[in-house]
Amino acid sequence: MKRLIQRGLLLVILALGLAFHLSAQSTQMTIHMNDGTENTYYMTESDRVYFEDNETLVVEFVINAKAHRYNLADIRKITCTETENVTEGNATSLCISPNPVHDAFVLRNLNGKETLHIYTLDGRLMKSLEAVEGQCVDISDLPIGLYLVKTGSQTLKMIKL
């Protein structure tokens, strides 16, 4: 059972690690330990999360060359929250909330009615639909993975957990 939980955690962390690499936004990651303590990190696209072996999670910051190591048996859960960098023009950019997604997401800052396309990273079209601002989009039928969500001239990255 412990091995199954570790492997599940491994898949989630690998997906999140790839998301950190692909995302131009930063991500707040909190590691919740079994003893009740928490360690919070603000990850950017140059930072890495990976496994050093089958029992150690490494959080590595490229800029200051620091790495934090955690024994998987000591971790209760890991939470991640995407935080947007404030830049000019971001207020009108398309947004998916929440991201990572479990079964559904809500569209924000959509200009009227637009066609929404969801693609796998290798370019396969998984879903197409007409969408409007604030619409809840059901993706419970999609497998876990990383996707590209396209509308008009905008493309977003989405993680399905």
Supply the pLDDT for residue 108.
Answer: 82
Helix, strand, or coil here: 64? coil
Supply the pLDDT for residue 5.
Answer: 59
Domains and CATH numbers, the chain: 2-83 (2.30.30.100), 92-160 (2.60.40.10)
Supply the pLDDT for residue 161.
Answer: 85
The C-alpha torsion from 137 through 143 and 147 to 149, rounded to 10°, is -20
pLDDT in tens, the chain (161 residues): 666 555 555 555 555 554 444 444 567 778 888 998 988 877 777 778 888 887 888 888 766 678 889 988 898 888 877 655 433 334 457 788 888 888 898 888 887 888 999 998 878 899 999 988 888 899 999 998 888 888 877 888 888 88
Supply the pLDDT for residue 138.
Answer: 92
Helix, strand, or coil here: 14? helix
Helix, strand, or coil here: 148? strand
In angstroms, the CA 109 to CA 107 distance is: 7
Supply the pLDDT for residue 16.
Answer: 53
